[in-house]
Amino acid sequence: MIADVDVDSQVWLNGEFVRLGDAKVSVLDRGFVFGDGIYEVVPVYRGKPFRMEAHIARLQRSLAEIRIETGRTTDDWKALFLEVLQRSGMEDCIVYLQVTRGVAKRDHRFPADSRPTIFCMASPRKPPSAQAREQGLRAVAMPDLRWLNCHIKSVSLLGNVLAKQHAVDAGVDEVIQFRGDALTEGASCNIWVVRNGELLAPRRNHLILEGIRYGLLEELAQKAGITLRECIVTRNDVDHADELMLSSATTEVLPITRFEGRPVGKGVPGPVYQALRASYDAVLAAL
């Protein structure tokens, strides 16, 4: 029994709905043995999936990168997300999808005849707290020690788990990771830096997972007249930022108001964050 998990909820596993408490995957599944798989998380507001098409596009890109062929089209994935959502009966939730290479004899090489394991479930969505939105989060720096294919949304998340635990051990909310002098991302979020009125974003490449909110914040910044510059963001930029922010599917967009124990800017959510947050809320209200 797992606390706060509804084991009686219905989940989709390899073509059929089963009770979560009864869902079983072989110990020889390559997702279990090697972390050989892909996942996606789609947030849902008032029964409406948010940016589902973009999440599915990223799913398809990640599957292609690691050469898992499911035979499913974009419309197939969309239908699955919507069916799982409808079965859940929830209005505000996240829909989680995981695809692994399937069950095979333990061998590092791709198996010739395995069939992908596909799992999908809906879980309650916990919105960011009023305190996080209005007072901001605390973060510390750490070196980014993960592999070099961070653009793939892999279920192999040990590096992210260790980064998140680093934040927990430091008594803060998040880490900000650097490869050498260059900003990459948080433990499970994109990081944004404001300096001199500009919004700075790390370049989209194999060193970061491009969050779906990356494109959204681009759109919101443009509408708000905020200059967004995609560039190599340095440790100095972060140390001397006027504002810091993070974004992800579950945290939306939130301010970081303390970094390495020091206030960021004036130590309160700044005007660029406030503008983007208001625009983000307007997009959600219009769903």
The predicted model gives 49-78 an average pLDDT of 97
How close are the terminal C-alpha atoms of the chain, in Å? 36
| pLDDT confidence band for 7 (50 / 70 / 90) | confident
Q: Tell the residue number behind the tokens 């072989």, with chain if given.
A: 26
CB 233 within 8 A of CB 184: no
CA pair distance 88, 84, nearest whole angstrom: 6
The letter for the amino acid at 78 is: K
Please give the model's pTM, rounded to 2 decimal places.
0.95
| pLDDT confidence band for 3 (50 / 70 / 90) | low
The alpha carbon torsion through 32, 38, 41, 47 (nearest 10 deg) reads -100
The letter for the amino acid at 6 is: D
**Is 266 noted as a catalytic residue in this protein?**
no
Q: What is the pLDDT of residue 2?
A: 64
- 153-205 tens-digit pLDDT: 999 999 999 999 999 999 999 999 999 999 999 999 999 999 999 999 999 99
Catalytic-labelled residue, pool 153, 164, 223, 266: 153
Q: How many CB atoms lie within 10 A of CB 286?
A: 6
Q: Tell the residue number behind the tokens 């999908």, with chain if given.
A: 120
